[in-house]
A = this chain, B = another copy of it.
Amino acid sequence: MYSIRCISYAPDDYLETAPSSIGECVDQVESHQCTWIDIAGEIPPEEQAKLQELFNLHPLALEDALAFDQRAKVEEFDSSLLMVVRLPESGENQVRHFDQLAMILTERALITVQQTEADCFDQIRKRLCAPGDRLRRKRLDALAHALVDAAIHSYFVAIEAIGDELEDLEDSILDQANRADRQNLFRLKRELLGMRRRAWPHREMLSSLSREELIFIDEATRTYFRDLNESMLHVIDLIETYREIAGGLADLYLSSVSQRMNEVMKVLTVTSTIFIPLSFVAGVYGMNFDTSVSRVNMPELKWPLGYPFALSIMAMIAFGLLFVFWRKGWLHND
């Protein structure tokens, strides 16, 4: 299943059709200056062959545009320019995936191929539709720029969302580290890793677009791509920063676990260290030595104040130890 949307535009003209096969686009392309052929979904092989033939595309250009796991890149062929970008898109259940947008720029047409239709390009369609928009007065390279711009903007959106999650996580870990935090942290680190992997190649791509003289790319548009290059550097900066923050949170988590183990240990130690000697004293006076045999056999048992005496010894031991622990600072949290 695939769908085609064919938009032709000029400063004072606009035509949008939804042809059912590639062949039907040709006329529209022929009769207009700028046509955007927007294909979503998998193109069947026979249509691929037609596409290559009708627009005279290099086989590698088409092959790369149709393979859905490409790195971002720009490649110049004889009569076309291939650009590939990857854009993060948050699906259901907070799971982010990376859509691919392949653009083949020819003289009169910009052919874009996507696996699914990304929402972030709606805005651009609306702008083309509006009569007075700046985009409509420009050529296809400006349209390509607008699409790449929208793709890069979606990185900022995705990073911001991750940043918010990291902030929540930090509060949660500082408060009381639990298992869910650990799992979330691990997930976010993975996402940042994936995002970095996808974002990184854009740098080279945009650097080429802003410096080299590429076919069909105007000098003026090049200045705009230079600006996008800046933005991409910013994206990568942010990803690296969040990656380091996530790494810091992992350390924080570990030290939080250690800290709590410390606390648990202190409770155990304080309790045991106080009661074990007391129990020992009680145990001593629970011995069954025969007091009638001699005077030295547990005379305390026969003292009129033997019991209060034993209790006092116990209390002294307990308070003495408590004092020691208080001095060591083990009785208050830290």
Contact = CB atoms under 8 A, between A and B. Distances in A.
Interface in A43-59: none
A282 interface: yes
Contact of A283 (B183, B237, B251, B283): B283
A224 B296 CA distance: 93
A190 B248 contact: yes
A234 to B, nearest CB: 6
A279 interface: yes
A271 B267 contact: no
A237 B290 contact: no
A49 to B, nearest CB: 14
Contacts of A302: 290, 293
A305 B291 CA distance: 10
Nearest to A287: B285
A71 B223 CA distance: 17
B271 A279 contact: no
Contact of A288 (B244, B252, B278, B286): B286
A4 to B, nearest CB: 27
B298 A60 contact: no
A191 to B, nearest CB: 11
A190 B245 CA distance: 7
Contacts of A70: 230
Nearest to A325: B267
Nearest to A267: B269
Q: Which size class do A's interface residues fall under? A: 35 or more
A282 B282 CA distance: 9
Nearest to A192: B244
Contacts of A179: 259, 333-334
A265 interface: yes
Contact of A271 (B224, B276, B285, B300): B276
A280 B275 contact: yes
Interface string A154-192: 000000000000000010001011110011001001100
A241 B286 contact: no
Interface stretch (A12-20, A26-34, A306-314): A306-314
19 contacts: A178-B334, A179-B333, A186-B252, A197-B241, A201-B233, A251-B254, A255-B257, A261-B262, A265-B269, A276-B276, A278-B280, A284-B311, A286-B286, A286-B288, A287-B288, A288-B298, A289-B306, A293-B303, A294-B305
Instruction: Identify the 10 closest CB pairs spanning chains A and B, nearest first.
Output: A282-B283, A294-B304, A285-B287, A178-B334, A268-B269, A286-B286, A271-B273, A297-B307, A275-B276, A289-B307
Given A271-B277, A279-B280, A297-B305, 5 more contacts: A201-B233, A250-B251, A267-B273, A282-B286, A297-B306
